[in-house]
Amino acid sequence: MTKLRIVYIASLVILGVLVALIVFRPMVSGEQFNTVCRESVIETEDEWIIEYDILNRTGKNTTYVINWSTGDKTYSQRVLVRDGRQITCIQHFHPQTVKEGKVHFTIYEEGEATPFEECTYYISFGEQ
């Protein structure tokens, strides 16, 4: 019976320590990241609309370079997002601007060579 009591008390102590770590451990604030946190692709009668949110958790105000290409044309946009904030970007695509039925996006943190987000949307218009 004594061994069972020792195991019981030890398990209660371990449980108490785990609960104390969960409750009293300070929040981890060292995580720094960029992310696209919401994407929407909307089709209307005469255009496609692509919306996305860029969330900045880098610890500093950051400028992002957004590139999108349709066929042989590439477009670029720079946006500043303050630390801890997000920005919604909206792009409209019409039949005369979309070549080959696809739009390719890359989003870079300014000065970085590797994008943190890259995707291709395959879109088509009714009579094409």
Nearest to 107 by CA among 53, 48, 71: 53
Give domain status of residue 92, yes or no: yes
110 or 30: which leads in pLDDT = 110
The pLDDT confidence band at residue 128, using thresholds 50, 70 and 90, is very low
Give the count of domains, the chain. 1
SS3 letters across 74-114: EEEEEEEECCCCEEEEEEEECCCCCCCCEEEEEEEECCCCC
In a domain, 1, yes or no: no
Asked whether the beta carbons of 57 and 83 are under 8 A apart, the reply is yes
Residue 82 lies in a domain: yes
pTM over 0.85: no
Q: What's the CATH code of the domain at 59?
A: 2.60.40.10
Helices vs. strands in the chain: H and E counts, helices first: 1, 7
Asked if residue 76 is part of any domain, the answer here is yes
Does the structure show a pLDDT above 80 at 120? yes
- The pLDDT tens digits for 3-20 are 888 888 889 889 888 777
Q: 68 is in which domain, residue-wise? A: 33-122
Could you read off the pLDDT of 52-105 as tens digits, one per residue?
A: 888 888 888 999 999 999 877 889 999 999 988 888 889 898 888 887 888 999
15: CB partners within 8 A, 6+ apart: none
**Is 16 a member of any domain?**
no
Is residue 7 situated within a structural domain?
A: no
Say if 128 falls within a structural domain: no
**For 29-39, how does the pLDDT look when each residue is reduced to its tens digit (9 = 90+)?**
555 666 777 78
At residue 33, the pLDDT reads 62
